[in-house]
Chains A and B, each alone.
Chain A
Amino acid sequence: MHIPDGFLNIATVATTYAVSAGSIGFGLRQARKKLSEKHVPLMGIMAAFIFAAQMLNFPIVGGTSGHLIGAALAAILLGPWTAVLIMACVLIIQSLIFQDGGLLALGANIFNMGFIASFAGYYLYRFTTRLVGMSRRGKLIGSFIAAWGSVFLASIAAAIELWVSGILPIQVALPAMAGWHALIGIGEGLITVGVLRLVMATRRDLMELEKI
């Protein structure tokens, strides 16, 4: 879902850059206040895994593929602000070094796959685990829904940006983006559940870190 340059108009570029810069600044302050020693290696690992996993596009129907975003996974383990910082680092390096996602579109990509996906994932996880309980099963159900919702909502944000930029009418952009990403979100959910199962089986304590 990395937006290249050329799709977004100046107003959208400016707005999303401002919001993303603000959320990174606030995230840095939160992390500086609350980060514990145990958060440090997990943040690095989370970012490295997300980058590697994002390279592995999986096929869905109709000659289309999708890949992990990873923001929900990061937000469930580390909290939403930390997830924003991790996603921002991944997206900045993808844009600068790998030419994946435009330089002008970077603000929008951080807003969609960083800010929106992280907060959607975090609060969907909290809401769902409150309903179904914090058992192992409850956490896995919560993480699937959080991961699916994070992709779905990020794609809606992207659709709105395409609409505001005059690329597509909203009644076309919204069903097209949300439709494909409703399918891609299933992959996101399965990968997120798989990783959390591995964490629960090997390092249960990493599930219990303070969420920042």
Chain B
Amino acid sequence: MKVKWWHVALVISLAVAFLSPLASASPDGLEKVAEDHEFIEQAQEAPFQIIADYLFPGIENEALATILAGIIGTLIIFGAVYGLARLLRLRKRQAE
């Protein structure tokens, strides 16, 4: 199989996900504002948790749990949006 540009680009995206344990743990802009102005405690927990906080459940090593969550998420998102775009193309061809 010939390697296409987007194969390389997907590998780059997965490599970025691999770096995710290096991310800053500081609050982001909105969280900072919510802490400074004391409405952070109004935030509600989600009614269910799947891979909450980008940590794959059941793995003690936090870096590994983060990388796994990142890899899974990157692949799911790629599949979902690639699939959606394929479907839209198909519908366009059928309409023509």
Contacts and interface: CB of A to CB of B under 8 A. Distances in A.
Contacts of A32: 88, 91-92, 95
Given A1-B29, A55-B70, A103-B47, A44 B78 contact: yes
Contacts of B80: 47, 89, 93
B92 A33 contact: yes
Contacts of A93: 73, 76-77, 80
Interface string A37-73: 1011111111111111101111100111111000000
Nearest to B26: A65
Size class of A's contact patch?
Answer: 35 or more
Interface in B51-76: 51-54, 66, 69-70, 73-76
Q: How large is the interface on B (under 10, 10 to 19, 20 to 34, 35 or more residues)?
A: 35 or more
B42 A43 contact: no
A53 to B, nearest CB: 6
Centre residue among B50, B74, B95 by max chain A CB count within 10 A: B74
Contacts of A6: 42-44
B3 interface: no
A171 to B, nearest CB: 12
Given A65-B26, A181-B29, A55 B13 contact: no
A51 B76 CA distance: 10
A175 to B, nearest CB: 10
Interface of A: 1-7, 28, 31-33, 35, 37, 39-53, 55-59, 62-67, 85-86, 89-90, 93-94, 96-100, 102-103, 155, 158, 167-168, 172-173, 176-177, 180-181, 184, 202-203, 206
